């Protein structure tokens, strides 16, 4: 058993990865990402738990749970909530667990409303634009925290 836990939280519509706008998000599914993270997590001695919810409150609950369980880090792809959620910002600020914000695409290369992240000011860092590899890069970063 690993001594480090990393919780991976995925927001709205990420359950549709591989089908939804593959020109933007690629053909990799969330199950593919989870398998990749699990494999790399084993190599790094990290237990990886992945969750997805289309509901903002469930993501807030996941952040609180990470704190309660003593997680080493949270990897958060908040999807569209990135650009709207004060609740997620407040939840990240309320915990001491470092949160790494991830995005498959580069929000700054997209519509103007996506250029602002409400969660970035509270995140340890942001990794974006590398497709599914954004998650692996975040896992690597979490191993170094």
pLDDT, tens only, 9-61 = 999 999 988 776 666 666 789 999 999 999 999 999 999 999 999 999 999 99
Q: In the predicted model, is pLDDT for residue 75 greater than 60? A: yes
Distance in Å from the first CA to the final CA of the chain: 19
Question: Domain coordinates of the chain in residue numbers?
Answer: 4-144
CA-based nearest residue to 75, from 3, 10, 145, 4: 10
- Choosing among 3.40.50.9100, 3.40.50.1000, 1.20.1740.10, 2.60.120.620, the CATH entry for 4-144 is 3.40.50.9100
CA-based nearest residue to 46, from 72, 18, 83: 72
| Contact (CB, 8 A) for 52 and 77 | no
- Residues catalogued as catalytic: 25, 103
- Determine the pLDDT at residue 2: 52
């Amino acid at each position: 058993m690993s001594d480090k836990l990393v919780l991976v939280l995925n927001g709205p519509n990420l359950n549709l990865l591989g089908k939804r706008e593959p020109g933007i998000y690629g053909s990799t599914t969330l199950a593919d990402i989870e398998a990749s993270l699990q494999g790399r997590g084993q190599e790094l001695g990290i237990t990886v738990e992945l969750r997805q919810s289309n509901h903002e409150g469930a993501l807030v609950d996941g952040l609180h749970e990470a704190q309660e369980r003593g997680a080493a880090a949270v990897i958060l792809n908040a999807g569209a909530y990135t650009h709207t959620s004060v609740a997620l910002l407040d939840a990240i600020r309320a915990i001491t667990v470092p949160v790494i914000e991830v995005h498959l695409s580069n929000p700054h290369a997209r519509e103007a409303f996506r250029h602002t992240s409400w969660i970035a000011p509270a995140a340890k860092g942001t990794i974006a634009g590398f497709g599914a590899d954004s998650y692996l890069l975040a896992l690597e970063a979490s191993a170094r925290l």
